[in-house]
């Protein structure tokens, strides 16, 4: 018998307003054709008045609690991944805690940008297995639209807003093929700060700053790092790529998804793709894609999933689990 962190339920939330590529072409020098061909993105959701990282996170968390069939007061840990917090402090996780009416729990944010959900999931998994908590909400939520330079066509067409959440519970699992997280690996290489960053912050400029990216360089590192970390978790779990039922990747660019899958010999039909409809929602993209694939019936109980992401830092990671 081993203690494993098991996903009880998933949820997600999107802003009300959906924006297509044609609308962006009225703001910057771009086209639907360029965006679709280079990225696969057709739509993104943009937060409006009253929609914030915390409000989207709370909506996603409520949906996950509902699917799990558990009440907010049974949650003793909230780990929220975001690069776009409502306030510099306190942690957005505590705002979500108050919105959900949880009187007391552990609540904190994790900052690992697009890999944030993988970092949050791994931290929560370790706390649950160590006995520090029993039932956790792990959330990825972003309002990247608020840190985009809307005059920079090389970045503003790529991102969107949204949130995804899972309820994770420590369970005693006896069967070898029982549910839960089987392996996870995280990495960071801070030397690449200049390739993907925000040009501001409380301690430097005193401003929030805007997203800056050297896209081609990030692309190259993403394919190599993601293929590497996927191989690591596959080896750690003692499986082969053929055993994987679904890859739930960070949704930055359809071409990155294709190139990474090809490197591992994973067939494209096993990849959950949402970049076309959500664009890159940073820390929210993996749990958003997972919730979508659970709700449309692709991901079934007992399936072997691998989640992966890479983002600013650079940071990257992967997690292999039986759903
Ligand atoms: O989530 C974190 C991880 N992020 C990523 O993984 C993003 C990784 N990078 C990428 O996805 C791709 O590099 C981009 C989608 C950002 C760019 O695609 P690319 O094929 O690498 O294009 P490029 O940067 O080489 O630009 C090609 C051309 C340039 O024009 P010239 O110099 O060839 O005349 C750009 O100025 O496309 C131009 N361009 C655009 N044209 C129309 C750049 N952005 C746009 C645009 N519309 N929005």
Q: Which residues sit with their C-beta closer than 6 Å to ligand 1?
A: 30, 34, 38-39, 114, 153-154, 157, 215-216, 218-219, 222, 252-253, 256, 280, 311
Q: What CATH architecture applies to the domain 180-322? A: 3-Layer(aba) Sandwich (3.40)
pLDDT given for residue 176 in this prediction: 83
Do 60 and 67 touch, CB atoms closer than 8 A?
no
pLDDT given for residue 178 in this prediction: 94
Domain 2-173 is classified in which CATH homologous superfamily?
Answer: Thiolase/Chalcone synthase (3.40.47.10)
pLDDT given for residue 201 in this prediction: 98
pLDDT given for residue 59 in this prediction: 99
Q: Which distant-in-sequence residues (6+ apart) come within 8 Å of 102 by Cβ? A: 72, 73, 75, 78
Supply the residue whose CA is at minimum distance from atom 3 of ligand 1: 311
Question: Tokens for 32?
Answer: 């639907």
How crowded is residue 43: how many other Cβ atoms within 10 Å of its Cβ? 15
N- to C-terminal Cα distance for the chain?
Answer: 18
User: Is there a catalytic annotation at residue 193?
Assistant: no
Supply the residue whose CA is at minimum distance from atom 11 of ligand 1: 253
Consecutive sets of 10 residues in the chain, 323 residues long: mean pLDDT of each?
96 98 98 98 98 99 98 98 98 98 98 98 98 98 98 98 99 93 98 98 98 97 96 96 97 94 92 98 98 98 98 98 98
Q: Which distant-in-sequence residues (6+ apart) come within 8 Å of 155 by Cβ? A: 148, 149, 211, 212, 213
pLDDT given for residue 1 in this prediction: 83
Domains 2-173 and 180-322 agree in fold: yes
Do 70 and 167 touch, CB atoms closer than 8 A?
yes
Domain ranges (residues) in the chain: 2-173, 180-322
Give the global pTM.
Answer: 0.98
For 278-317, b where at least 16 C-beta lie within 10 A, e where not — what string?
bbbbbbbbbbbbbbbbbeeeebeeebbbbbbbbbbbbbbb
Phi-psi category of residue 165: left, alpha or beta, with phi > 0 → left and psi -120 to 50 → alpha: beta
Handedness of CA 95, 97, 102, 104 (dihedral sign): negative
Do 76 and 135 touch, CB atoms closer than 8 A?
yes
State whether residue 265 is helix, strand or coil.
coil
- Ligand 1 centroid to residue 131 C-alpha, Å: 45
User: Is there a catalytic annotation at residue 114?
Assistant: yes
Q: Which distant-in-sequence residues (6+ apart) come within 8 Å of 93 by Cβ? A: 78, 79, 80, 107, 108, 109, 139
């Amino acid at each position: 018998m081993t203690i494993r962190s098991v996903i009880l339920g998933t949820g997600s939330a999107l802003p009300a307003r959906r924006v297509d590529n044609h609308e962006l072409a009225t703001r910057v020098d771009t086209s639907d054709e360029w965006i679709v061909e280079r990225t696969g993105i057709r739509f993104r959701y943009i937060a409006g008045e009253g929609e914030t990282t915390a409000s989207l996170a709370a909506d996603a968390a409520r949906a996950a609690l509902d699917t799990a069939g558990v009440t907010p007061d049974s949650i003793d840990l909230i780990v929220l991944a975001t690069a776009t917090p409502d306030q510099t402090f306190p942690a957005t996780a505590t705002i979500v805690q108050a919105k959900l009416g949880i009187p007391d729990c552990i609540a904190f944010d994790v900052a690992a940008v697009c890999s944030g959900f993988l970092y949050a999931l791994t931290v929560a998994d370790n706390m649950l297995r160590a006995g520090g908590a029993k039932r956790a909400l792990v959330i990825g939520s972003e309002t990247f639209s608020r840190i985009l330079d809307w005059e920079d066509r090389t970045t503003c067409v790529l991102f969107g807003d949204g949130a995804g959440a899972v309820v994770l519970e420590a369970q005693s699992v006896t069967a070898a093929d029982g549910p839960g997280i089987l392996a996870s690996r995280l990495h960071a290489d801070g030397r690449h700060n200049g390739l993907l960053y925000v040009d501001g912050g409380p301690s430097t400029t005193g401003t929030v700053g805007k997203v800056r990216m050297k896209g081609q360089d990030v692309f190259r590192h993403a394919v190599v790092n993601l293929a590497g970390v996927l191989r690591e978790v596959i080896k750690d779990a003692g499986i082969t790529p053929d055993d994987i039922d679904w890859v739930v990747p960070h949704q930055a660019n359809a071409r990155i998804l294709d190139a990474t899958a090809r490197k591992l010999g994973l067939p494209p039909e096993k990849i959950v793709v949402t970049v076309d409809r959500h664009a890159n929602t940073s820390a929210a993209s993996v749990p958003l894609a997972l919730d979508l694939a659970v709700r449309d019936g692709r991901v079934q109980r007992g399936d072997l999933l691998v989640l992966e992401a890479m983002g600013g830092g650079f940071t990257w990671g992967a997690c292999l689990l039986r759903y």
